[in-house]
Structure 1
């Protein structure tokens, strides 16, 4: 029998928050964080920096049961909005992104970065600020629906002109759909997609599109996290009747 999101999930959220707070104050946190981090194919954020980011922001919900935007279920959830509360952590990620952009595109700089009007814009704007003197990049924004988690294909800030080269940026990716959709916003307007950037990849190698994208484009991800997801019929937490919570209902810890 599959679980469904309860009409009144407040008790389950409060219980989950208390468990998370106890866990973050305990002795097992660093070990669990270390086990989440997968090796990346290129030098990015150090393991120490990644653990600091996740620990200080309390961005990871462990031993949970969360329905993500795609409808998949997971028992370990990364909430980027928790990281976005801390300007120094945003700067840490953006500095690493900027370094990758400089190294990757030093001979053929892109025109700008396209991202959503979610908290991902903070990464794009800070990266652009850091690169301003050496490689100016303008930031273009598309809509973001905070209720559904979906991005739009209109442009609400900036422009994409024919022949201009853009990097598509999102905060977190699972299947690669949103960062790919941002790229299509560019190409539909006659621009070119130069590469892709996300702070965290959390697909655990499950979704083929991510392998296709990383093979086709220069692709930055600062951290690769082992956060498996399941369709509802295959979800072990559903079978155990663990209360299911929506990604949109999870607060900062």
Structure 2
């Protein structure tokens, strides 16, 4: 077994995580993690970078040093216990609305990401997270100005229909929508708003630069969202149109 593959398995066991738990934190499938540990595949560099951040290691240490050899059998349990109890602080980069335009070109630039302000949440440990400020009423009752904390989605086939996500694309910029996939057109995604006055629309999967599954919503406590009569009328009319369309489709 190569050093990197061996270290991935060793670090998972050191934390006491199952393959499912570790794969979720890494944003990959359990089967892929199994392939890494069984040396049927070489770990991707982006996965190794997440592991380095998670365990405070350098990439050189992970690739070249047998980490298990440094721990004798006598103190293995003590080191595992200490590592499990030690807090894993995850710094979450924050993308405000004013930085959205720059993010479209700098999303993959480590220097750009390093310049963003970060914060931590006590319930977030490990993994690849990012926070985005959203504006508009398309996802009401989530109010405009909320901050959506999302976890990176590495592959579209890992998400379920109607999952709320932040999508980053060249044409639409940064949007917060629910994602629906079609079995017939795998290269298309339908984006749906929680506010029914906004019509769903379809984009090509190849247009998506990044996708982050929403995990937490942060909004001001004094923000009160209310529906006015005009909004309610539009909602009812919109729903009636959809019902009429469904009836015509059956005839």
- TM-score scaled by length of structure 2: 0.23
Higher gyration radius (CA): 2
- TM-score scaled by length of structure 1: 0.23
